[in-house]
Amino acid sequence: MVPLSPLVPLLGSHGGFGLNFNPFETNIINLAIVIAGLVWFLRGFLGGILERRRAAILADLKDAEDRLAAAAAALAEVQNGLADSQARAERIRADGQARAQAIRLESEKRTVEEMARIKQASASDLDSEAARVTAQLRREAARLAIEKALATLPGRLNDEAQTRLIDQSIQSLGNA
């Protein structure tokens, strides 16, 4: 901040502060003539430039509004398309889940049926194998019994027992 003490002598030496209303000393008349001439002669030139600039700005604004309206319409159309696509994607996803669930249930059903068939086949195979083994054991037991009987028979059969066995066999054949 400048101290006021050096300014006070400067202002006092010039006689103070005041306004000069003399039109010839202040060149107000010359300035008025120059400004009026500029306004008169440049009005058409500057007015034309300003009018062309105003028209260009209005055309740019109109073009921008048209592009904004077109962009808004395109955005609305794209948003509708997006909503349709999302709905279609949701339907496809739901259909896919339903189809996957149906396939899973069908697969489980086939697996259970296949397991039941395999269990039944194995039980059948087990029964047939048991029957085969039982028949083989019977044949083997019969063969062993016959061999044992044939081995012990000559020592047990004397002439009298042999005659009795032949007579019984003939009688059983005659009764049949």
Provide the pLDDT for residue 1: 47
DSSP letter at 27? T
pLDDT over 50 (residue 127): yes
Domain annotation covers residue 21:
no
pLDDT over 60 (residue 59): yes
Domain annotation covers residue 167:
no
Q: How much is the average pLDDT of 84-112?
A: 95
Higher pLDDT, 129 or 71: 71
Cα gap 174→49, rounded to integer Å: 151
Provide the pLDDT for residue 174: 75
Cα gap 152→129, rounded to integer Å: 34
Higher pLDDT, 146 or 109: 109
The model's pTM is 0.39
Domain annotation covers residue 46:
yes
Domain annotation covers residue 76:
yes
Quote the number of domains for the chain. Answer: 1
Nearest to 108 by CA among 121, 92, 94, 116: 116
What range does the domain containing 141 cover? 27-153
Domain annotation covers residue 123:
yes
Domain annotation covers residue 159:
no
